[in-house]
């Protein structure tokens, strides 16, 4: 309909048209030259010429933009990141929590953003620990960082220096490459390996003449730990398990959050036990294999054997000889007394 259109043609500039002008109208016979497709500021005003080819180029540009938008929409949700389900790290180590785009694509960092969040337990709300987008960068966890050079190649991994026990929890990586986004999570478990000490506590009257082999285990996390004892002899170098005489206390928390425990093996060593090797075997989550520490009871030297066996026998013999001598001396003295008494009676 053209009832309220504004016709531009020869002599239109002299027409006093007072109705509303909403849409420019061009006859089929008119040329595109001089026909303005936008409403003029005043009805009846002279339109400005449109340069040749402008309409066609605008249409092509709009079409390209539409195709680009459709391509973006088809790609939305196609972005993905690769993380690790569970990562076990050692106390006080420097750690990198992975978050990468497969294929390491080259990215325009001006359209890339990254948000790392962390929560201690599953039912807690997540807290942001690192953010980057545009020229803005913020790290609420000291030392937390994402390499911008790595980010240009699709690597948004989070670097955390000197891990503490309190750093354990779930880490969420949210990566935005406009207009796409993807996220992934990694569970970070912190462990600490045990340190061991092994020594022999000599027998005393206080402990009932028992010797103790003491195994002290310290600085491990988590608290669950397994301690076993083994023994080998000079005649049989193969270790065999010990099941008796073992006393293992409860795990005690240290000031830094790690744990310590003491296990002792009570011995009443006979002569043949000296020279035997006793081993403390510790198994813990932080260890790939069991940790072992051994101690050997010193062998009895010939002089020690002499004093241990011959010495007491000689001493016992001396006591017996002394007692017989005292008994014999008493008989002699008694006989002399009797003889002296008889002589006195004769006088």
| Structure letter (DSSP) for residue 100 | B
Q: Which pLDDT value is given to residue 107?
A: 92
Contact assessment for residue 52 and residue 33, using Cβ atoms and an 8 Å cutoff: yes
Q: Which pLDDT value is given to residue 42?
A: 41
Question: What does the mean pLDDT of the chain come to?
Answer: 77
Q: Which pLDDT value is given to residue 5?
A: 39
Query: pLDDT tens-digit profile of 297-346?
Result: 876 554 444 445 555 666 677 777 767 766 666 655 665 556 556 555 65
| Structure letter (DSSP) for residue 310 | I
User: Among candidates 226, 292, 259, which has minimal Cα distance to 91?
Assistant: 259
Q: Which pLDDT value is given to residue 338?
A: 60
Q: Which pLDDT value is given to residue 19?
A: 45
Terminal CA-CA length for the chain: 184
How many whole angstroms from its chain centre is CA 40? Answer: 70
Contact assessment for residue 247 and residue 264, using Cβ atoms and an 8 Å cutoff: yes
Could you give the CA distance from residue 119 to residue 137 in angstroms, rounded to a whole number? 20
Query: pLDDT tens-digit profile of 135-167?
Result: 899 999 999 999 999 999 999 999 999 999 999
245: left (phi over 0), alpha (psi -120 to 50) or beta: left
Contact assessment for residue 232 and residue 239, using Cβ atoms and an 8 Å cutoff: yes
Q: Which pLDDT value is given to residue 237?
A: 79
Q: Which pLDDT value is given to residue 322?
A: 67
Q: Which pLDDT value is given to residue 177?
A: 92
Residue 261: CB atoms within 10 Å: 19
Establish whether domains 86-190 and 195-296 are of one fold: yes
Q: Which pLDDT value is given to residue 202?
A: 81
10-residue mean pLDDT profile of the chain (347 residues): values are: 42 42 37 36 43 54 52 59 96 97 91 95 87 93 96 96 96 94 96 96 69 95 97 86 94 97 86 80 97 86 49 68 68 59 58
Handedness of CA 252, 256, 258, 262 (dihedral sign): negative
Q: Which pLDDT value is given to residue 67?
A: 52
Contact assessment for residue 95 and residue 84, using Cβ atoms and an 8 Å cutoff: no
User: Among candidates 245, 242, 249, 230, which has minimal Cα distance to 290?
Assistant: 230
Q: Which pLDDT value is given to residue 93?
A: 97
Peptide bond into 222 cis (omega under 30): yes
323: left (phi over 0), alpha (psi -120 to 50) or beta: alpha
Domain boundaries, the chain: 6-75, 86-190, 195-296, 307-347
- What architecture (CATH level 2) is domain 86-190? Sandwich (2.60)
Taking the domain 195-296, which CATH number applies? 2.60.40.10
Contact assessment for residue 293 and residue 279, using Cβ atoms and an 8 Å cutoff: yes
Listed in order, strand segments (DSSP E) in 236-330 are 240-242, 246-248, 252-253, 259-267, 277-283, 291-296
């Amino acid at each position: 309909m053209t009832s309220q259109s504004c016709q531009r043609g020869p002599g239109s500039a002299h027409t006093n048209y007072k109705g509303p002008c909403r849409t420019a109208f061009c006859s089929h016979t008119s040329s595109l030259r001089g026909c303005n497709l936008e409403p003029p500021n005043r009805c009846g005003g002279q339109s400005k010429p449109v340069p040749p080819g402008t309409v066609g180029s605008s249409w092509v540009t709009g079409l390209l933009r539409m195709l680009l938008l459709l391509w973006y929409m088809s790609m939305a949700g196609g972005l993905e990141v690769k993380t690790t389900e569970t990562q076990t790290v050692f106390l006080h180590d420097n750690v990198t929590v992975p978050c990468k785009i497969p294929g390491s694509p080259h990215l325009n960092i001006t359209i890339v953003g990254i948000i790392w969040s962390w929560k201690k337990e599953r039912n807690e709300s997540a807290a942001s620990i690192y953010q980057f987008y545009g020229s803005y960068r913020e790290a609420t966890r000291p030392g937390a960082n994402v390499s911008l050079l790595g980010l240009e190649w699709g690597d948004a991994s989070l670097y955390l220096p000197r891990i503490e026990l309190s750093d354990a929890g779930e880490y969420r990586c949210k990566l935005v490459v406009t207009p796409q986004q993807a996220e992934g999570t990694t569970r970070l478990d912190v462990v600490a390996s045990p340190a061991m000490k092994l020594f022999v506590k000599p027998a005393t009257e206080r402990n009932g003449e028992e010797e103790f082999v003491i195994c002290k285990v310290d600085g491990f996390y988590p608290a669950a730990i397994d301690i076993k004892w083994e023994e080998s002899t000079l005649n049989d170098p193969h270790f065999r398990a010990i099941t008796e005489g073992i006393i293992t206390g409860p795990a005690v928390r240290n000031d830094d959050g790690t744990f310590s425990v003491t296990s002792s093996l009570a011995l009443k060593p006979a002569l043949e036990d000296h020279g035997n090797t006793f081993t403390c075997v510790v198994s813990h989550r932080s260890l790939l294999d069991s940790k072992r520490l051994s101690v050997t009871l010193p062998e009895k030297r010939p002089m020690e054997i002499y004093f241990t066996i011959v010495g007491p026998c000689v001493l016992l013999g001396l006591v017996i000889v002394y007692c017989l001598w005292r008994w014999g001396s008493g008989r002699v003295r008694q006989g002399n007394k009797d003889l002296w008494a008889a002589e006195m009676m004769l006088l």
